[in-house]
Structure 1
Amino acid sequence: MRAVLPDAFTDAFARHGDRLAVTDAGGSLGYAELADRARAAANRLARYNVRDEPLRVGLYATNSADYVVGYLATLFAGAVPFLTDSAFGSFELVRIAEDCGLDLLLHAPSADVRAVVDEALTDDGEFGALAVSRVRRFDASRPQLLDDTEACRFTSGSTGRPNCIEFSGAAVFAAAANWAKGTGLSADDRIACFAALSNGLAFNTSLLAAFLPGASLHLSHGLPTASRVVRLLESTAATRLVAFPALYESIVRRAPKEGFAAVRTAISSGAPLRETVREEFTALTGVPIHNYYGIAETGPLTYAANGAGSGLGAPLPGVRLLAEEQGIRVKSESMGSRYLNAPGVFEERVDDAGYYHTGDQGRLLDGTLHLTGRTSRLVNVGGRKIDPIEIADVLRAASGVLDAAAFEAENQHGEPTLAAVVAVEPGVTAQSLRTHCAATLPSFKVPGILRLVDHIPANSIGKPSIERLRRLLSEPQSN
Structure 2
Amino acid sequence: MTLQEKTLLDLLAGADEQPALVAPDKPSLTYAQLKGNITALAATLNGYGLGRGDRIAIAMPNSPELIIAFFAAAMCGTAAPLNPKYKQDEFAFYYEDTQAKALITFPGTLEAAHAALLPGMAVISAVSDEAGSVSFRLESGGAEARPVELAQSEDVAMILHTSGTTSRPKRVPIRHRNMAASARNIIGTYNLSEADTALCVMPLFHIHGIIASMLSTLASGGTLVCPNGFNAMEFWGIVDKFKPTWYSAVPTMHQMLLARAERNLEVIKANPFRFIRSSSAPLPPIIMERIEALFGAPVLESYGMTEATHQMASNPLPPAPHKGGSVGYGFGVEIGIMDEAGNLLPNGTIGEIVVKGANVVDGYENNPDANAAAFVKGWFRTGDQGLIDADGYLSLTGRIKELINRGGEKISPLEIDDILLRHPAVAEALAFAVPHKTLGEEVHAAVVLKGEASESELRAYCQTLLAEFKVPRKIYFVSEIPRGATGKLQRINMAKLLNITGD
Q: TM-score, normalised by structure 2?
A: 0.69
How far did 1:456 drift?
Answer: 2.2
The answer (yes or no) to whether the contact 2:328–2:393 under 8 Å persists in 1 is: yes
SS of equivalent residue, structure 2 residue 287: helix
Distance 1:442 1:334, change over 3 A: closer
Name the Cα RMSD after superposition: 3.8
Which one of 204, 220, 224 corresponds to residue 213 of structure 1? Answer: 220
Matching residue of 2:314: 303
Which one of 192, 198, 201 corresponds to residue 191 of structure 1? Answer: 198
SS of equivalent residue, structure 1 residue 335: coil
Distance 2:380 2:275 in 1: 29
How far did 1:246 drift?
Answer: 0.8
Mapping 1:30-69, distance limit 5 Å: 30-49=30-49, 54-69=53-68
Matching residue of 1:372: 397
Q: Deviations over 1:164-188 (max 9, x none)?
A: 2011221111000111112211111
Which one of 258, 280, 296 corresponds to residue 252 of structure 1? Answer: 258
Matched, 1:95 2:93: yes
SS of equivalent residue, structure 1 residue 287: coil
Distance 2:243 2:92 in 1: 41
Distance 2:139 2:364 in 1: 25
How far did 1:55 drift?
Answer: 2.5
Distance 1:108 1:280, change over 3 A: same
Q: Deviations over 1:40-94 (max 9, x none)?
A: 211221111167x5321112222111111111112332x1111223343323221
Matching residue of 2:385: 361
Number of residues of Structure 1 aligned to a counterpart in Structure 2: 397
Distance 1:238 1:413, change over 3 A: farther
The answer (yes or no) to whether the contact 1:312–1:368 under 8 Å persists in 2 is: yes
Which one of 454, 457, 461 corresponds to residue 502 of structure 2? Answer: 457
SS of equivalent residue, structure 1 residue 113: helix
Mapping 1:273-312, distance limit 5 Å: 273-298=283-308, 299-305=310-316, 306=318, 308-310=322-324, 311-312=326-327
Supply the AA of the counterpart residue of 1:86: P
How far did 1:215 drift?
Answer: 0.6
Mapping 1:34-183, distance limit 5 Å: 34-49=34-49, 54-77=53-76, 79-109=77-107, 110-111=109-110, 112-117=112-117, 120-121=123-124, 128=134, 148-157=155-164, 161-183=168-190
Distance 2:136 2:255 in 1: 32
What are structure 2's unaligned runs of at least 5 residues?
Answer: 144-152, 339-344, 404-412, 415-431, 433-440, 451-481
Distance 2:78 2:286 in 1: 42
How far did 1:213 drift?
Answer: 2.1
Q: Deviations over 1:386-420 (max 9, x none)?
A: xx9xxxxxxxxxxxxxxxx9x99544059xxxxxx
How far did 1:266 drift?
Answer: 0.5
Distance 1:131 1:160 in 2: 37
Distance 1:443 1:206 in 2: 14
Distance 2:212 2:497 in 1: 38
Distance 2:494 2:400 in 1: 23
Distance 1:312 1:3 in 2: 26
Distance 1:229 1:304, change over 3 A: same
How far did 1:339 drift?
Answer: 2.4
Mapping 1:340-359, distance limit 5 Å: 340=365, 342-351=367-376, 353-359=377-383
The answer (yes or no) to whether the contact 2:363–2:375 under 8 Å persists in 1 is: no
How far did 1:11 drift?
Answer: 5.9
Q: Deviations over 1:360-396 (max 9, x none)?
A: 111111111111122125999xxxxxxx9xxxxxxxx
The answer (yes or no) to whether the contact 2:251–2:281 under 8 Å persists in 1 is: yes
The answer (yes or no) to whether the contact 2:8–2:71 under 8 Å persists in 1 is: no
SS of equivalent residue, structure 2 residue 12: helix
Does 104-113 or 114-123 show the bigger shift?
114-123
How far did 1:355 drift?
Answer: 0.8
The answer (yes or no) to whether the contact 1:6–1:76 under 8 Å persists in 2 is: no
How far did 1:210 drift?
Answer: 1.2
Which one of 203, 206, 209 corresponds to residue 210 of structure 2? Answer: 203
Which one of 255, 263, 273 corresponds to residue 273 of structure 2? Answer: 263
Distance 1:210 1:173 in 2: 12
Percent identity between matched residues is 21
Distance 1:214 1:276, change over 3 A: same
SS of equivalent residue, structure 1 residue 297: helix
The answer (yes or no) to whether the contact 2:101–2:122 under 8 Å persists in 1 is: no
Distance 1:336 1:451, change over 3 A: closer
How far did 1:331 drift?
Answer: 1.1
Supply the AA of the counterpart residue of 1:228: E
Distance 1:27 1:179 in 2: 28
The answer (yes or no) to whether the contact 1:116–1:136 under 8 Å persists in 2 is: no
How far did 1:130 drift?
Answer: 8.1
Distance 1:208 1:56, change over 3 A: same
Distance 1:5 1:295 in 2: 23
The answer (yes or no) to whether the contact 1:194–1:243 under 8 Å persists in 2 is: yes
Matched, 1:243 2:249: yes
What are structure 1's unaligned runs of at least 5 residues?
Answer: 138-145, 381-387, 389-404, 415-436, 459-479
How far did 1:120 drift?
Answer: 3.8
Distance 1:136 1:96, change over 3 A: farther
The answer (yes or no) to whether the contact 2:170–2:364 under 8 Å persists in 1 is: yes
The answer (yes or no) to whether the contact 1:327–1:360 under 8 Å persists in 2 is: yes
Supply the AA of the counterpart residue of 1:283: A
Distance 2:395 2:137 in 1: 44
Supply the AA of the counterpart residue of 2:336: L
